[in-house]
């Protein structure tokens, strides 16, 4: 009994040390900028950008093959932070102002349609939905990244994506609804 | 020399690990849609299976037999196999990034390939020595790769044919796998045992 436990522990320890040493010796240096961008991206690997996961998207941006505006759930906020790291100047550029139309979204559950089937709850990559079987579910907005996964599985269509409530981090100036020239003549 | 050749031939064709022993059926059905994926899976499995056969033989003779711990065989072999797969992944990522990217998702899947554990256990059951274990593992992996690539080729052609609706998809794949298995029974006449 003791020999069995001891030998298995020793085997496990030996293999663990071997793997640890290998991980250190054969460590692959990834560009730090990729790691940094991966931390900024939502990390849910939802695939809406068309790359295999957030890591893939970060690598694509680093190689210059993808725009910083590729992440729909991250929206304007993430795009600006990414632009800061990559050194792309897009303050007010066409690609960023295009994103003003798509604000960061969060899921919203119409509770009188919810049957408590737990499908959305199992599908959610960030555990942002709370609830239990036959109980009405609800969404924690701070954790939700608006990845659209729950909307697709809901059998009663009780989930919609809504604009995230504005906070200091996500607030921005609206685009002027009149052309600048018209504003000037109006003022004069 | 002739004995080694017989082991290779016997494991790769006559006692094929997939079609005769029915081990490793889930990658056989799962990763046989496209030939290039099948080749990738086959190469990765060959690498891991050969290494795992050697390592499990070492664990058996160095630890389990002297301490009389035969009942821990499956547990310790699984541990060794999982560690080897992880180790292979780490080393390959550093030394052969191209191969790492090509095999990518298939490498971790091998941990749960029952052919790897099955061959390690069969080595012990048939009381092989180190060199025999190595060849047995390598031969089985060659057989696995051959069959996987053959089957992937068949499925690529099947995908273009007009299969009757009730049989299309997995049913026709299972039927072709059965026919392929019967074809491999023909190799049974190749060796006396």
- Domain layout of chain B by residue ranges: 2-185
Question: Which among A11, A19, A28 has the least Cβ separation from residue B87?
Answer: A19
A52 touches chain B (CB under 8 A): no
pLDDT tens-digit series, residues A106-139: 888 888 888 888 888 888 888 888 888 888 788 8
* Residue after which a domain boundary falls, among A53, A71, A98: A98
* A156 inside domain: yes
Q: What's the whole-number average pLDDT of chain A?
A: 79
Contacts from B152-158 at CB under 8 Å and sequence distance 24+? B152/B31, B152/B32, B152/B33, B152/B34, B152/B35, B152/B37, B152/B38, B153/B35, B154/B180, B155/B32, B155/B33, B156/B33, B156/B34, B156/B35
Q: Which residues contact A163 (CB under 8 A, 6 or more apart)?
A: A103, A104, A105, A106
Final residue belonging to a domain, choices A47, A64, A98: A98
Is A11 at the interface with chain B, CB within 8 A? yes
Residue B190 or residue A80, greater confidence: A80
B111 CB neighbour count, 10 Å cutoff:
16
Residues A26, B76: C-beta atoms closer than 8 Å: no
Calpha distance B132→B148 (Å, rounded)? 24
Residues of B in contact with A19 (CB under 8 A): 83, 86-87, 90
Examine residue A2 and state whether it is found in any structural domain, yes or no: no
Contact B69 A23 (CB under 8 A): no
Considering the domain architecture, whether residues A36 and A94 belong to the same structural domain is answered as yes
| Structural domain containing residue A42 | 32-98
CATH code, domain carrying A126:
3.30.70.20
Residues A91 and A119 in one domain: no
A28 chain-B contacts, CB cut-off 8 A: 93-94, 97
Whether the model pTM is above 0.90: no
Distance in angstroms (rounded) separating the CA atoms of residues A100 and A76: 7
Structural domain count of chain A = 2
Q: In terms of CA atoms, which chain B residue is nearest residue A29?
A: B94
Say if A27 is an interface residue toward chain B (CB within 8 Å). Answer: yes
B87 vs A18: CB contact, 8 Å cut-off?
A: yes
Task: Say whether both A92 and A37 belong to one domain.
Answer: yes
User: pLDDT tens across A161-176, in order?
Assistant: 887 777 776 666 766 6
Cα–Cα distance, A71 to A55 (Å, whole number): 12
Q: For residue B12, is pLDDT > 60?
A: yes
Query: Which tens digits make up the pLDDT trace of A25-61?
Result: 888 777 788 888 888 888 877 777 777 778 888 888 8
Q: Does A18 fall in a domain?
A: no
């Amino acid at each position: 009994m003791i020999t069995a436990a001891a030998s298995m522990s020793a085997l496990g320890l030996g293999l663990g040390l071997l793997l640890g040493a290998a991980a250190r010796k054969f460590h692959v240096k990834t560009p730090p900028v990729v790691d940094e961008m991966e931390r900024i991206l939502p990390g849910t690997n939802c695939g809406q950008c068309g790359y295999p996961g957030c890591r893939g998207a970060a690598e694509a941006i680093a190689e210059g093959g993808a725009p910083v505006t590729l992440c729909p759930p991250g929206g304007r906020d993430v795009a600006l932070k990414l632009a800061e790291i990559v050194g792309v100047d897009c303050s007010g550029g066409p690609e960023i102002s295009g994103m003003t139309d798509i604000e960061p979204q969060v899921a919203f559950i119409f509770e009188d349609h919810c049957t408590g089937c737990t499908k959305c709850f199992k599908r959610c990559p960030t555990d942002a939905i709370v609830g239990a079987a036959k109980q009405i579910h609800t969404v924690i907005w701070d954790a939700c990244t608006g990845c659209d996964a729950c909307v697709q599985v809901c059998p009663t269509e009780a989930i919609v994506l809504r604009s995230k409530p504005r906070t200091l981090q996500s607030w921005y100036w609206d685009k002027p609804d009149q052309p600048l020239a018209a504003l000037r003549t109006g003022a004069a | 020399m002739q004995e080694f050749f017989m082991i290779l031939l016997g494991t790769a064709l006559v006692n094929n690990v997939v079609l005769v022993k029915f081990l490793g059926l889930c990658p056989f059905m799962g990763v046989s849609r496209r030939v290039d994926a099948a080749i990738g899976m086959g190469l990765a499995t060959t690498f891991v299976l050969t290494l795992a056969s050697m390592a499990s033989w070492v664990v058996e003779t160095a630890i389990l037999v002297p301490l009389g711990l035969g009942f821990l065989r499956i547990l310790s072999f699984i541990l060794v196999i999982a560690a080897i797969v992880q180790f292979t992944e780490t080393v390959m990522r550093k030394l052969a990034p191209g191969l790492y990217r090509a095999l990518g998702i298939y490498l971790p899947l091998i941990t749960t390939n029952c052919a790897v554990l099955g061959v390690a256990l069969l080595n012990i059951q048939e009381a092989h020595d180190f060199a025999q274990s190595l060849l047995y593992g390598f031969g089985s992996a060659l057989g696995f790769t051959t069959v996987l690539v053959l089957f992937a080729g068949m499925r690529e052609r099947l995908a273009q044919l007009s299969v009757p609706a009730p049989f299309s998809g997995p049913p026709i794949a299972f039927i072709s796998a059965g026919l392929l298995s019967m074809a491999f029974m023909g190799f049974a006449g190749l060796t006396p045992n």
